[in-house]
Amino acid sequence: MDNNELLLTRKSNRRYQSIFTCTKCKQGQMNPLHQEGEPEYTDIFVCDKCDHTATIPSLVIIFTQFISAIAGGMVSAYLFIQHLSKVLTAFQFNTTDPLSSNISLMAVAALFLCGFGYTLFRAFIGINRRRKYRRPK
């Protein structure tokens, strides 16, 4: 067995009804799996009828991604706008402000904006995945 493979050893010992339904067979319940050496909670689920496995993120992970993306995106956007205004002011008034450092800091802030945008995108993917596997009422 390769070292890169996950060892899914046994089903969880939790005693509650699963809130997720298998999207493959439409009748099985998705139960959490254990990984060897991991704590009780996992986000890997398996269908009890057809053995279909899926990674369904928890609400805590989605909420954390959403909050960190919003907070980090706001700080990055603020820094991007500050350095952009310094660069545009230097161009407009033909001053000799440290233009290269402002442009490089603006590029770094833009990279952070892209990263936080990706984190927000992953949060929405997690919400959609949970909605897809959610048991119909």
State pLDDT tens for residues 16-46: 567 888 888 888 888 888 766 666 566 888 8
Q: What is each CA distance from 40 to 7, 10, 15, 97, in whole angstroms?
A: 14, 11, 12, 56
Judge whether 1 lies within some domain: no
- 3: in domain: no
Q: Are residues 38 and 92 in the same domain?
A: no
Average pLDDT, the chain: 84
Say yes or no: 51 and 96 in one domain: no
Q: Give the number of domains in the chain.
A: 2
Domain check: are 119 and 72 in the same one?
A: yes
Query: Residue 38: CB partners within 8 Å, gap ≥ 6?
Result: none
- Is the same domain home to 74 and 112? yes
50 and 67 part of one domain:
no
Task: Please indicate, yes or no, if residue 2 is contained in any of the structural domains.
Answer: no
Domain with 108, as residue range(s), is 59-133
Question: What's this model's pTM, rounded to 2 decimal places?
Answer: 0.77
The answer on 127 and 69 residing in a single domain is yes
User: pLDDT of 55-85, one tens digit each?
Assistant: 888 889 999 999 999 999 999 999 999 999 9
Task: Indicate whether 72 and 128 sit together in one domain.
Answer: yes
